[in-house]
Every structure is written in C-alpha cells, then in structure tokens.
Chains A and B, each alone.
Chain A
Amino acid sequence: MTIEVSDAQLVERCRAGEAAAWNELVERFSRYVYAIAVRAFRLPEHDAEDVFQDVFARTFERLDSLRDDAAIRPWLAQLTRNACVDRLRAGAREQLAEEPPAEVLDAEMERLDEALDVHDGLRALSGDCREILDRFFAQDESYRMIAEALDLPAGTIASRISRCLGKLRESLEGRKPGSDTSGDW
C-alpha cells in the first residue's frame, strides 16, 4: 500500500527542493493541465504543449507565492485557464480562434475537477486495478490490448474492470476497498 501524500505536503516538499516531490507534482497534475488545454479550450496539440510547459514553468517559479499549499489545484487551474486564454488571444491575430463561452468553460472545468477527484481515488486501489482502469478508460485500450500488455486471459478483462470499478466506487464513498493489498482483483 502506498503512503498517501496530500497536495499540501507535496507542495511543501517541492518548496524544500525535493526533486522527487516535483516529479510527483507534475505527474499528479499533468493530466488535469493537459485536459484543460485540449478539452476545455480545445487548443491544437502544439499550442497545448506550449501552455503545458508554460504552466509548469510558472508553477516552479511561483510556488513560493502560493498562500495555501492545499489550494494548489485551483491555483493550477487558474494558471492554466489564463495561459490558454492568452494563447487563444495571441492566435486570434493570426487565424480564427474562439474562446469558449464562460458558462461552457465553467461547466467543463467542473467536470474535469470531478474527473480529477475520481482519478485521485485510484490511488487507494492496488496497482493492478489502477492500471487496468487507466488503460481501459483513460487510454482507450481494447480488452485484447490490455490482456496482452498485462499477460492476462482476454476473457477475464471485462470482469476485472467491473470489480475494480466497484472497488473505486467503495473507495470514493469512503469505504475501504475490499482485498486491496495483494494485487487481488
């Protein structure tokens, strides 16, 4: 079982200069920043990459100015939104680019926040469950691909996904997921 490090603890360790903590912070929020750029703002890949690097560069430079370490997520969200808006406005001078309406954007951000809560919930599961759910839902891999990658019988993938989803739901509802420590599906 991995030891859960809170966002605030992670920020504190980054500020202390721990390289491993910075790696973990980038890993923890990379999907969120990426999704805001490509899903909420629909930036093309090359613009999204610039925004992504810019957001983490600013995070690294300005981490000291964050008043509440636990608020790293909304802080990053705002930083990413601002970077996307800047990018769209700069792009609008060269070609047609539209900023999504505020209400659409707010709804999408809310959905991504909820998605990140669920994704964070994966940390309470076994590595096997995390991997199979991530491969199937987030990486859109087929049963066959998952079976090959994890060296499992293809006919068991659907039931494993279902069991792991059940454990994720238990975890998010505050219950201890059953049989989680030994790679038990």
Chain B
Amino acid sequence: MAPHDEERLGELLGLLPPAPAGWVQAAQELPAARLQLDEIVERARLDAGFRVQLVADLEAALAAAGYEPRRALLDAVRERLPELDA
C-alpha cells in the first residue's frame, strides 16, 4: 500500500459509507431464506391444498403457514410457482 497522509486516509474512508442496514440484513439472511424457500416449495409439491392457496393469495397463504411474508420471500416463491404446475 502506498503511504498516505492523514487527509487522504479520511477521504478514502469517506468513499465507503455503510450500506443500508436492511439490505445487509437481507443478504445475511439469504442462507436461511433459501432453506425456507426449499421447504415451502417441497410442501407445495406434496400438498395440493397448500399449492392452491399459494396461487390464490401468496402472501396470506405464507402468513397462515407461519412464514413472515417478506418481499424477498414472496418474489422467490412466485418465481418457483410455475415449476410446481409442471
């Protein structure tokens, strides 16, 4: 690393403000969210009633099944729904 004067160090530190906390948290929750998604898809595969509920009202069906219907989860399940009809 090149030597820095202290003014330059401050300037460089200022280039990296924190990302919004909610974004960081969502990214950190990805592994758990993937497991949850797989669980929902598997349940929908085995349970036709649950599958119908998901198609009719995704948010309500997930909430009723005990999942927190966050936007990322809703988008991910919506993306996987077509494969359940196959």
Question: Can you list 27 A-B contacts with CB-CB less than 8 angstroms, sorted by A residue number?
Answer: A17-B31, A26-B28, A30-B18, A30-B19, A34-B17, A34-B20, A34-B23, A35-B15, A49-B23, A52-B23, A53-B72, A60-B30, A112-B16, A115-B13, A115-B16, A119-B13, A119-B16, A133-B13, A134-B13, A137-B10, A138-B13, A138-B14, A138-B16, A139-B17, A162-B6, A165-B10, A173-B3
B residues contacting A by CB (< 8 A) are 1, 3-6, 9-20, 23-24, 26-28, 30-32, 34, 72
Q: Measured between alpha carbons, how far is A22 from B20 in the docked complex, in Å?
A: 18
Residue of A nearest to B32 (CB): A19
Q: Is the interface of B mostly helix, strand, loop or mixed?
A: helix
Count how many pairs of residues, one from A and one from B, have CB atoms less than 8 Å apart in the complex.
101
Partner of B30, one of A56, A137, A162, A173: A56
Q: Is the CB of B31 within 8 A of A52?
A: no
A84 at interface by CB-CB < 8 Å: no
Q: Is the CB of B6 within 8 A of A31?
A: no
Binary contact track A106-146/B, C-beta < 8 Å → 1, others 0: 00000110111111001000000000011011111000000
Contact status of A32 and B16, CB under 8 A, knowing A52-B23, A56-B27: yes
Q: Taking the nearest CB of chain B, how far is it from the CB of A160, in angstroms?
A: 13
Q: Taking the nearest CB of chain A, how far is it from the CB of B58, in angstroms?
A: 19
A residues contacting B by CB (< 8 A) are 17, 19, 22-23, 26-27, 30-35, 39, 49, 52-53, 56-57, 60, 111-112, 114-119, 122, 133-134, 136-140, 162, 165-166, 168-169, 172-173
Q: Measured between alpha carbons, how far is A108 from B18 in the docked complex, in Å?
A: 18
Q: A118-B12, A119-B13, A138-B14 are in contact. List 20 more A-B contacts (CB 8 A).
A: A30-B27, A31-B17, A33-B19, A34-B20, A34-B23, A35-B15, A39-B15, A49-B23, A52-B19, A52-B27, A53-B72, A57-B27, A112-B16, A115-B16, A122-B13, A138-B16, A138-B18, A165-B10, A173-B1, A173-B3
Q: Taking the nearest CB of chain B, how far is it from the CB of A10, in angstroms?
A: 13
Residue of B nearest to A14 (CB): B31
Q: Is the CB of B13 within 8 A of A169?
A: no
Could you say which residues of chain B place their CB within 8 Å of the CB of A31? 16-19
Closest 9 CB pairs between A and B? Answer: A34-B19, A137-B13, A56-B27, A115-B15, A31-B16, A165-B6, A115-B12, A30-B19, A118-B12
Q: Taking the nearest CB of chain B, how far is it from the CB of A91, in angstroms?
A: 19
